[in-house]
Amino acid sequence: MSRTPPASHAENPSTRHESPSPCAGEAAVLRAENLVKTHYGEGAPARAVRGVDLSVRRGEFVAVTGPSGAGKSTLLHLLGGLQRPDSGSIWLDGVRTDGYGEARWAVERRRRIGIVFQFFNLVSNLSVADNVELPALLAGVSPKQARAEREQLLAELGLQGKERSMPGELSGGEQQRVALARALVNHPPLLLADEPAGSLDSKGTREVTRLLSRFHQRGQTIVLVTHDARLASAADRVISFFDGRIADDAELDGTPSRSLGISGVLELKD
């Protein structure tokens, strides 16, 4: 179980209160309320996230699906503190994060939030072993413990003998498995995965699907952004995201989580 880091001296204590959400009784590890994010560039402003409310229960596997440009990745980046919302609030384990700055979010990502990206984001001049151990060392884990955690994860992910390899010497599927090991080395309560199979072939996609399912079965909470129905079908719950909003939210047993149409979501079971 990961430890919740103490509040930094720069935080406003008034922001650290328990969420009044009715989902608190459901052991929500993550909750977002009325999130809004607009991107500004050379053209017209792009409203990527438009007033999104979301709650994820501990141990739940949630897939967020939708077409390219729908705002899925922006939503995930907001939930992981990689971007800041224009308005709205996020709670982690019942603690409101409005007062968190860049440094505090970095601590949360080291200790409580693992993130896996589409293009792996491995450090190219570090070996596989060093890429996996680095987050644990940054979080204050002893080198001996970091090495033990790394060895266990790499063995489980079928990467024995690759410890001294550099990322560029690995296949795409192997690089994504290293990225998954890096995200999980600190046993974070929450794993955020942003299109983790988007750059992989069919075999790599099957590997990622199998691995995410395995960790979920052990109690890992996962929020996955994907456009791949094969990955989404491994989840407990599928959220369809269109034009910056949640269009559908359904359990994959066919039970709707919200009073919205779910026909498109249920097709993922086929």
DSSP letter string, 70-111: SSHHHHHHHHTTSS--SEEEEEETTEE-TT--HHHHHHHHHH
Q: Residue 51: what pLDDT?
A: 96
Q: Residue 254: what pLDDT?
A: 53
Determine how many CB atoms are found less than 10 A away from the CB of residue 242: 16
One-letter amino acid at 226 equals T
Find the helix or strand (DSSP H, E) in which 114 lies: strand 113-116
Q: Residue 43: what pLDDT?
A: 81
Q: Set out the domains of the chain in order of their start, with CATH numbers.
A: 58-81+102-269 (3.40.50.300)
Whether 162 contacts 154, CB under 8 Å: yes
Segment-wise mean pLDDT, segments of 10 residues, the chain, 270 residues: 41 39 61 95 89 96 93 96 96 94 92 91 95 92 94 92 95 93 93 91 89 93 93 94 95 57 35
Q: Residue 255: what pLDDT?
A: 52
Q: Residue 123: what pLDDT?
A: 95
